[in-house]
Amino acid sequence: MSNDLLRFEDEYLARYYSKKPINVVRGYMQYVWDSNNNKYLDMHTGFGVAFLGHRNPRIINAIKDQLDRIITVPLTFYNEARAEFIREFMRIVPSSFGKVFLQNSGTEAVEVALKIARKISKKAEFLAFLNSFHGRTMGSLSVTGNEKYRKAFEPMPYKVRFAPFNAVDQVDKLVTEDLAAVIVEPIQGEGGVNPAKPEFLRALRQVTRERNVLLIFDEVQTGFGRTGRVWAFENYGVEPDIFTAGKSIAGGLPIGVAVVRREFGDVFEPGEHGSTFAGNPLVMAAAKAGVEVLINDNVPERVRAVGDRFMRVLEDELNGSKTVLRVKGMGLMLGVELRKRADPYIDRLIGMGLLTSVAGGTTVRLLPPYCITDEDLDMAVRALKNALSDSS
C-alpha cells in the first residue's frame, strides 16, 4: 500500500499472507467499510470468526461491562465471568460430554485434543485425512493433510497416517488398534468446503469404537451454528469422543475450546497442561454473550432457513456458468467450486463489494454471518454471477 502509515505493514510485518489492497476500518454486523468509506458485504468474516456479526451489540455490551471489572484472572483462581460462560456453554453441548478445556485459538484447541488422546490412549499415532486443515502449530500441522502447509517444516513431531477423505470402503483397513485417535473435520473448510458423507462419519464412529480408538471432530470452522445445528456432527447423528471449537464463539475475540466425553473426567493432573491467557474474564464475558446470541436468536434455525435459500439460488443462478463446477456445503458454510484458480475472481468480487475467501485453491468460500438478509443474498448472488460470467 502506498499510504504512509500502512507501508509499515509491508516493511516490517513478516509476510505469510498474500494481501488484498483494502484498508478495513470499521464493521457492523454483516458489513465492513474501508478507509474510502466503501461498504462491503462480508462473507470472509475473518475465516468465519465474525459469524455472529461484527460488533454484535450484545457481545459489545458484555465486553464493556467486563472491562470495568477485570480483564485477566488465571485458571488458578475462580472467576464468575468464566463460570457463567461454562454454565451457558454446557447448555449447547450434548449431555454425553462432561468437561471443557479452554484455549486461545483453534490450533491450541486441536493441540490439547491431541494431548488428551495420547494421555487417554497411551498410544502415539494418529490417522488424519488428505486435504484436512487443523492449524499451524507443530502438533496441529502434523495432522494437517496438505503439503503446502507442511513441507517447509518436516519432519513433523507426531506420527500421522493420511487417508482419502470420504473413502468409506477404506475405513475398516485404515483404522487400526495401534492408533491414539482419528481426527476429522465434519466439513473440510480450508480444503475446499467438502462435507463428509454421512456413511463416512458413521463408519469412522463404528470402527473406532470397535477397536478402542478415539474419534476427534475438529469443529473449529463448522461449529457454533455455522452448519444449521449448533455442532455439525448433529447433522450426522454421530458423536465423537472429543471435539474442538473456536473461531466465532467469542464474537471476534480469540478463543479455542476442546470438549470431551463425560466418562474421561478431567484427563490431566495439575501441571500437565496450562495456558496463561486461557479462560480470561474478558474473552469469557464475550463468549458467554456469544452463546446467548446463539440461543436467543435461534441462530441454527435461522442458518438452516437462510442457508437453504442461499444454496438453492446459487445453484439456480450459477450452475449454467462455464466457470462453475459445483456449489457445495451446508448451512452458511458454502463453496462455489470453479474449474480454475479462485483468486482472480475473489479480487473481482472485492471490487463489487463482496468479501469472500479461497478454499482448496479453486473454491470461492462463502462464510456469511447468521444475520444476512434476503437482500444481502440477492446482492451476493448478482455479484458472483457477474464476476463468474466471462471465462477470462
Which grid coordinates belong to 163?
487417508
Min CB(144)–ligand PLP separation in Å: 8
Nearer to ligand PLP, 133 or 200 (CB): 133
Does 106 count as an annotated binding residue? Answer: yes
Distance, in Å, from the CA atom of 334 to the CA atom of 226, rounded to the nearest integer, reads 10
Min CB(100)–ligand PLP separation in Å: 17
Contacts 24+ apart (CB under 8 A), 267-271: 267/99, 267/116, 267/119, 267/120, 268/115, 268/116, 268/119
Longest dimension (CA), the chain: 62
Nearer to ligand PLP, 101 or 383 (CB): 101
φ/ψ (deg, to 5) at 349: -65, -35
Residue 378 exposed, middle or buried by CB count within 10 Å (0-12, 13-18, 19+): middle
Nearer to ligand PLP, 47 or 264 (CB): 47
Residue 264 exposed, middle or buried by CB count within 10 Å (0-12, 13-18, 19+): middle
Min CB(17)–ligand PLP separation in Å: 12
Nearer to ligand PLP, 122 or 148 (CB): 148
Min CB(279)–ligand PLP separation in Å: 16
Nearer to ligand PLP, 56 or 105 (CB): 105
List interacting residues with ligand PLP (CB under 6 A). Answer: 47, 105-107, 110, 133-135, 185, 189-190, 218, 220-221, 246-247
Does 337 count as an annotated binding residue? Answer: no
Cβ count near 33 (within 10 Å): 16
Nearer to ligand PLP, 84 or 241 (CB): 241
Does 241 count as an annotated binding residue? Answer: no
Coil/strand/helix, residue 29: strand
Min CB(42)–ligand PLP separation in Å: 17
Question: Parallel, antiparallel, or unpaired for β 357-359 and 363-366?
Answer: antiparallel
Nearer to ligand PLP, 190 or 337 (CB): 190
Min CB(256)–ligand PLP separation in Å: 6
Residues across the chain: 392
What is the H or E stretch that residue 11 is in? helix 7-12
Min CB(252)–ligand PLP separation in Å: 12
Does 133 count as an annotated binding residue? Answer: yes
| Alpha carbon of residue 376 to chain centroid | 22
Does 136 count as an annotated binding residue? Answer: yes
Does 276 count as an annotated binding residue? Answer: yes
Distance, in Å, from the CA atom of 258 to the CA atom of 278, rounded to the nearest integer, reads 12
Q: HEC profile for 301-317?
A: HHHHHHHHHHHHHHHHH
Q: Which residue is nearest to ligand PLP (CB)?
A: 106
Distance, in Å, from the CA atom of 128 to the CA atom of 145, rounded to the nearest integer, reads 7
Sheet architecture: strand order including 214-218: 97-103, 256-261, 242-245, 214-218, 179-184, 125-129, 160-163
Distance, in Å, from the CA atom of 225 to the CA atom of 45, rounded to the nearest integer, reads 15
Min CB(273)–ligand PLP separation in Å: 17
Nearer to ligand PLP, 185 or 241 (CB): 185
**What residue numbers does the annotated binding site for pyridoxal 5'-phosphate cover?**
106-107, 133, 218-221, 276
**What residue numbers does the annotated binding site for substrate cover?**
136, 275
**What residue numbers does the annotated binding site cover?**
106-107, 133, 136, 218-221, 275-276
